[in-house]
Amino acid sequence: MLLGRHLQPGAIRSRRGGHLDRSAYTLLSRIRMEGPMSIGQLSEAFGLDASTLNRQTAAMLRAGLVERIPDPDGGIARKFRITGAGERGLDAEREANISGLERVMAEWSPDEVADFAAYLKRFNSDIEHLDGRPWPRP
């Protein structure tokens, strides 16, 4: 519970305002890694229903974090592409998270940090495998 509460975007640092909420951070991170994605692709990636994703992407559109574009591969569904503002917001949030983690782990040895990262990666991979959505996708 503490890990989830304190490592969500922006939680470790002081609240200065202007930070991304957890859903925007998560969706923007995936769109950055995958490239433009449709509601259907986001639904498959996260196991969320389309109505939830429509609300979340609508908020991101209003904030200028993403834009809707025609499918670059010629498909029918429009896709969401991260904007410059979305890139900057994601970078700032990620830097703040890294800074917060560095404060938490200030007394940890490099080996302890590496071990923690390896176990966390395995933990996440095992959850995704059990959920039927392994990451990264083949």
User: Contact, 105 vs 12, CB < 8 A?
Assistant: no
Domain boundaries, the chain: 18-104, 108-138
Question: In angstroms, how far is the first alpha carbon of the chain from the final one?
Answer: 31
Q: What is the pLDDT of residues 28-45, one digit of tens each?
A: 999 999 999 999 999 988
What are the phi and psi torsion angles at 80 (to 5°)? -100, 130
Confidence of residue 16 (pLDDT cuts 50, 70, 90): very low
pTM, two decimal places:
0.79
Q: What is the pLDDT of residues 72-123, one digit of tens each?
A: 888 888 999 999 999 999 999 898 888 888 888 999 999 999 999 999 889 9
What architecture (CATH level 2) is domain 18-104?
Orthogonal Bundle (1.10)
